[in-house]
Structures are given as structure tokens and as C-alpha cells.
């Protein structure tokens, strides 16, 4: 795979998609629900996914596409080249705030992330990485993450996961909130990974993410040394929905052993 040619191709594709999304703000958006009343999808999510898929199929026939809205391929294994796409990550923010959402894209070859992109559409900020060449925030090269402690960390976690639930050791999670310097919740897994990669937060925790939520961010955050696993400490799942924690390498272990524990 010629990664640098693909990198230029993808950047221009993402910018064009971003332009389409910004233009959609002046039209009527159709909102539907998916798994529950708060799980939203719009016609723009679908149109943008279809836009990517048409282009990728035309220009990279033979590659497969794993997209959230289901217009791509039925992905059961990671052989060959797989593009993992979330056309709008943070749809609730897209609908309610018209900001704080991103296009997320990762290109994987035989299960290894080669290229990663997170595009903050409204701010025109692109986070990206080519495997082995470091990660970038626009033209700025991101620095390797420096060691920190739980007490000095900012941890991104959605308040819903702190309400008692079937999966998480509730008291340990509350102790995390009481111990860290601060918590945040941005409502876009991709942006949260971009903020981890750029050192603005130190960890991001979610009970339920899908491959397209994390695929692009995993390449970017991986380039600066972030560690990403499920709550059992296993490699992040690129085929199925799972729990997910991404963290500065100096706090990943203690997060899992002492704070984010499955019941
Ligand atoms: P989405 O906006 O693309 O659906 C919200 O906290 C984050 O979790 C977003 O990145 C959102 O992605 C993701 N997410 C994953 N599964 C979800 C679900 N069932 N309902 C809402 N958000 C979900
Ligand atoms: Ca969604
Ligand atoms: Ca998503
Ligand atoms: Ca989405």
C-alpha cells in the first residue's frame, strides 16, 4: 500500500465531506432514532457515509469498508485492507449543538492500523497519523505523552456510566471521579481520542464503543504512546462493540486495577 499517496487522497476526501456537512446546516435535517430514544441518526450521517463509500469503491476497488450506517461491507474478519468509517461521530452534538462532532476514519491492513484521521468539522481541525511517522494536529507534530499520575489527570467519562449499572464496579468508578484532577465529557469518542493524543486529557473511558468509533483515533493516539484496551485489558476490539479505555501509558494499569472494574 502506498501510504503517502493514500494519505493525501484521504485528506482531500475528508475536507470535501466536511464542506458538505457544514453546508447541511442551512438545510432541513431529518432525525431518526436507532437502538433507543437517545441514539440518533440523521440523513446527513447516511449521506456522508454514502459519499465516502462511492469514492472509496471507485478509487480503491478491492478494499473493504466498515461504516457505522451500514452502507459498506459486512465485515467479519480483518484480512486485506479495511477502511473503518464513522461519518459523524457525536451525532447528538451535531443535532443539538452544531459543533463537537467529527469525521473518524482508520485504514487497517491485516488488522494493523496504517492511517488514522479525526476531523473536527466545525473548527476545521484535522488530527491524523501515518503509522510509524508520528501524529499531527493540523501542521503541528504531537509530542509523545509524558508520565502523569491519577491525581493530576483529566479523565473523560460520560456521566451515564457513573449511574449504577450492571457492568461497572460503581464504588470504584465514583472513587475515580473523586481522585482525579477533573472529569470531562465531550460526547464524541473520536474527539476524546484526539484530545488524549494531543495531551489535553489523560484518559477516556466508555462502556460501549464500536470499531468505527475508535479505529482512526487508535492510530493517532497509538503514535504518541497511548494504551488502548477493553476493560479486561485485552486489545481493543475492531470487529465488535466492546468496553474501551484509552489512557496515558503511565496510568492505564492503575485505571483498570483500581478504578474501572467490571462487576
Ligand atoms: P455516534 O455519535 O457516532 O453514535 C457518545 O458518548 C459517543 O459514544 C459518540 O462517540 C457516539 O458515537 C458513541 N456511541 C457508541 N454507541 C452509541 C449508542 N448506542 N448510542 C449513542 N452513542 C453511542
Ligand atoms: Ca451513531
Ligand atoms: Ca461514533
Ligand atoms: Ca456516527
d(CA 78, CA 112): 9
- Residues 236 and 242: beta-carbon distance below 8 Å: yes
Average confidence score pLDDT of the chain? 97
pLDDT confidence of residue 228: 98
Asked whether the predicted pLDDT for residue 53 surpasses 90, the reply is: yes
Ligand that comes closest to the CA of residue 37: 1
pLDDT for the residue 167: 86
Q: What pLDDT shows up at residue 1?
A: 84
H/E stretch holding 213: helix 211-223
Q: Residues 6 or more apart from 244 whose CB is under 8 A from it?
A: 189, 204, 205, 206, 209, 213, 214, 228, 229, 230, 231, 236
Indicate whether residue 189 lines ligand 1 (CB < 6 A): yes
Predicted pLDDT at 115: 98
- Tell how far the Cα of 213 is from the centroid of ligand 2, in angstroms: 9
Res 141: pLDDT: 98
Q: Which residues are annotated as a binding site?
A: 68, 86, 88-89, 213
Q: For ligand 1, say whether the CB of 187 is within 6 Å of any of its atoms.
A: yes
Domain over 150-259 is classified CATH 1.10.3470.10: no
Classify burial at 32, counting beta carbons within 10 Å of its beta carbon; exposed 0-12, middle 13-18, buried 19 or more.
exposed
Q: Output the CA torsion sign for 178, 179, 184, 187.
A: negative
Quote the ligand 4 centre to 87 CA distance (angstroms): 6
How does pLDDT run across 96-127, given as a tens digit for each residue? Answer: 999 999 999 999 999 999 999 999 999 999 99
Q: List for the chain the helix, strand, coil content (%; round to 5).
A: 35, 30, 35
State the Cα–Cα distance between residues 248 and 246, nearest whole angstrom.
7
**90 CA to middle of ligand 1, Å?**
6
Nearest in space to 259 (alpha carbons), one of 209, 214, 205, 201: 205
pLDDT surpassing 90 at residue 195: yes
* CATH architecture for residues 3-141: 2-Layer Sandwich (3.30)
Contacting residues for 97 by C-beta, under 8 A, at least 6 apart: none
Q: Look at residue 257 and tell me whether its pLDDT is greater than 90.
A: yes
For residue 86, give the ligand 1 atom closest to its CA.
3
Examine domains 3-141 and 150-259 and report if their fold is the same: no
Distance CA 177, CA 259 (A): 9
37 lines ligand 1 (CB under 6 A): no
Domain coordinates in residue numbering, the chain: 3-141, 150-259
Over range 35-62, report the average pLDDT: 98
Amino acid at each position: 500500500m502506498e501510504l503517502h499517496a493514500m494519505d493525501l487522497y484521504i485528506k482531500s476526501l475528508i475536507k470535501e465531506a466536511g464542506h458538505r456537512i457544514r453546508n447541511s446546516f442551512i438545510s432541513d435535517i431529518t432525525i431518526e432514532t436507532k437502538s433507543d430514544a437517545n441514539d440518533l441518526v440523521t440523513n446527513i450521517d447516511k449521506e456522508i457515509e454514502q459519499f465516502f463509500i462511492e469514492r472509496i469503491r471507485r478509487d480503491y476497488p478491492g478494499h473493504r469498508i466498515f461504516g457505522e450506517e451500514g452502507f459498506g461491507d459486512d465485515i467479519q474478519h480483518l484480512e486485506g485492507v479495511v477502511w473503518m468509517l464513522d461519518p459523524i461521530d457525536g451525532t447528538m452534538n451535531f443535532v443539538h449543538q452544531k459543533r463537537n462532532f467529527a469525521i473518524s476514519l482508520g485504514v487497517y491492513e491485516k488488522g494493523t492500523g496504517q492511517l488514522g484521521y479525526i476531523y473536527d468539522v466545525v473548527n476545521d481541525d484535522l488530527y491524523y497519523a501515518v503509522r510509524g511517522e508520528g501524529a499531527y494536529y493540523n501542521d503541528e507534530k504531537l509530542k509523545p505523552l509524558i508520565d502523569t499520575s491519577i491525581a493530576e489527570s483529566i479523565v473523560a467519562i460520560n456521566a451515564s456510566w457513573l449511574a449504577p449499572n450492571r457492568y461497572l464496579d460503581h464504588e470504584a468508578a465514583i472513587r475515580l471521579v473523586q481522585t482525579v484532577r477533573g472529569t470531562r465529557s465531550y460526547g464524541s469518542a473520536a474527539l476524546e481520542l484526539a484530545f488524549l493524543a494531543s495531551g489535553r486529557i489523560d484518559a477516556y473511558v466508555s462502556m460501549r464503543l464500536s470499531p468505527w468509533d475508535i479505529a482512526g483515533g487508535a492510530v493517532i493516539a497509538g503514535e504518541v504512546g497511548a494504551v488502548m484496551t477493553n476493560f479486561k485489558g485485552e486489545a481493543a476490539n475492531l470487529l465488535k462493540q466492546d468496553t474501551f479505555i484509552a489512557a496515558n501509558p503511565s496510568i492505564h494499569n492503575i485505571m483498570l486495577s483500581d478504578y474501572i472494574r467490571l462487576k
